[in-house]
């Protein structure tokens, strides 16, 4: 598919991104900055946005795609309103973090890195949260939950959803 074949809607998000591109066109190596701004505006970088950036910056789609997929801070899928992050550091791993992840995967019906259909949760992992004394640990957004087992992790996640749905 050619960049010119992609239909880009004329809306506020694309106009905001176009303005940013125009303001930064002469900046050396602006592609990463433009992609950061695009992700800030859209929440992630869907194919249509990547094609738009390629067209407006006069670079190939493969170059844009290469940058997006190389750097782990760019997302090509939407994320949930709330991030469940399970620690995989040594203390958490030894105390059963993998079992917590398996329980959350089963309960949420997705894999690590996935987002629920209602976009409420995204399940993620990280290496260490610095809360080893509470191992195993998970965060929901920035709230730490420790001394978990699989059942407790699922209960906390369900309670969080009940308390925050509709907010």
pLDDT in single tens digits along all 167 residues of the chain? 555 555 666 789 999 999 999 999 888 889 999 999 999 999 899 999 999 999 999 999 999 999 999 987 899 989 999 999 999 999 999 999 999 999 999 999 999 989 999 999 999 999 899 999 999 999 999 899 999 999 999 999 999 999 998 66
What pLDDT, on the 0 to 100 scale, is given for residue 25?
Answer: 82
CA distance 110 to 103: 11
Cα angle for residues 144, 142, 35 (degrees, 5° grid): 145
Classify domain 82-164 at the CATH superfamily level: Glutaredoxin (3.40.30.10)
Say which residues have a Cβ less than 8 Å from residue 63's Cβ, sequence separation at least 6: 31, 54
The structure tokens listed for 17 are: 């991104």
**pLDDT for res 68:** 95
Q: Which residues contact 78 (CB under 8 A, 6 or more apart)?
A: 43, 44, 115, 119
Query: What pLDDT is recorded for position 86?
Result: 97
φ, ψ of residue 126 to 5 degrees: the values are: -150, 165
Q: What is the phi-psi region of residue 23: left when phi exceeds 0, alpha when psi lies from -120 to 50, beta otherwise?
A: alpha
**DSSP-derived pairing of the beta strands 82-87 and 138-140:** antiparallel
What is the distance in angstroms between the CA of the first residue and the CA of the last residue of the chain? 40
Contact between 139 and 97 under an 8 Å Cβ cutoff? The reply is no
Residue pair 101/86 in contact (Cβ under 8 Å)? The answer is yes
The structural domains of the chain, with segments of one domain joined by +, span 3-70, 82-164
Distance CA 135, CA 154 (A): 16
Is the distance from CB of 66 to CB of 77 less than 8 angstroms? Answer: no
State the pLDDT at residue 167: 62
For tokens 């907010």, what's the residue?
Answer: 167
pTM: predicted TM-score of the whole model, two decimal places: 0.70
């Amino acid at each position: 598919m050619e960049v010119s074949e992609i239909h880009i809607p004329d809306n506020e998000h694309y106009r905001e991104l176009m303005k940013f591109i125009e303001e930064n066109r002469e900046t050396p190596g602006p592609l990463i900055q433009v992609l950061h701004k695009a992700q800030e505006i859209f929440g992630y970088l869907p194919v249509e946005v990547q094609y738009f950036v390629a067209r407006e910056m006069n670079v190939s789609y493969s170059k844009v795609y290469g940058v997006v997929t190389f750097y782990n801070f760019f997302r090509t899928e939407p994320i949930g309103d709330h991030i469940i992050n399970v620690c995989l550091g040594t203390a958490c791993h030894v105390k059963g973090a993998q079992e917590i992840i398996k329980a959350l995967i089963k309960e949420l019906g997705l894999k690590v890195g996935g987002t629920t259909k209602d976009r409420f949760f995204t399940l993620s992992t990280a290496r260490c949260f610095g809360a080893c004394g509470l191992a195993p640990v998970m965060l929901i957004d920035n709230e730490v939950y420790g001394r978990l087992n699989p059942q407790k992790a699922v209960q906390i996640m369900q309670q969080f959803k009940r308390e925050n749905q509709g907010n």
